[in-house]
Amino acid sequence: MAGGRGERFWPMSRRRTPKQLLPIVGDDSLIAQTIARVEGVVPFSNVFVITNAEYADAVAEVCPLLRRENIISEPEGRDTAAAVGLGGVLAQMADPAASLAVLPSDHVIHDTVAFKNVLTKAFEAAESGDWLVTIGIKPEFPATGYGYIHRGELRMTPGNLQVFDVRGFVEKPKLEVAKEYVESGEYFWNAGMFVWSAQAFFSAFEKYAPDIADGLTRISRELERGVRIADVLGEHYHTLRKISIDFALMEKADNVLTIPATFDWDDVGSWQSLERHLPKDEAGNITRGNAIVLDGVGNIVTGSGRHLVCVMGIDDCIVVHTDDVTMICPKSKAQDIKRLVKQVASNPLWSDRV
Per-residue pLDDT at 61: 95
Q: pTM for this structure? A: 0.92
Which CATH class for the 7-260 domain?
alpha beta
Per-residue pLDDT at 20: 95
Give residue limits of the domains in the chain.
7-260, 271-353
CA distance 126 to 113: 20
Which residues make Cβ contacts (< 8 Å) with residue 143, sequence separation at least 6?
A: 178, 189
Per-residue pLDDT at 15: 87
pLDDT digit string (tens) for the chain, length 354 residues: 998 887 889 999 998 889 999 999 988 999 999 999 999 999 999 999 999 999 999 999 999 989 999 999 999 999 999 999 999 999 999 999 999 999 999 999 999 999 999 999 999 999 999 999 999 999 999 999 899 999 999 999 988 899 999 999 999 999 999 999 999 999 999 999 999 999 999 999 999 999 999 999 999 999 999 999 999 999 999 999 999 999 999 999 999 999 999 999 999 989 999 999 999 999 999 999 999 999 999 999 999 888 999 999 999 999 999 999 999 999 999 989 999 999 999 999 999 889
Please report, for residues 74, 171, 212, 227, the alpha-carbon distance to residue 231 in angstroms, rounded to integers and kept in the order given.
Answer: 11, 36, 19, 7
| Amino acid type, 312 | M
CA distance 281 to 267: 24
CA distance 219 to 235: 9
Rounded (10°) CA dihedral 219, 214, 246, 158 = -80
Per-residue pLDDT at 6: 79
Strands 300-302 and 291-294 come out as: unpaired
Q: Answer whether 219's CB lies under 8 Å from 89's CB.
A: yes
Which residues make Cβ contacts (< 8 Å) with residue 286, sequence separation at least 6?
A: 274, 275, 278, 279, 280, 299, 300, 301
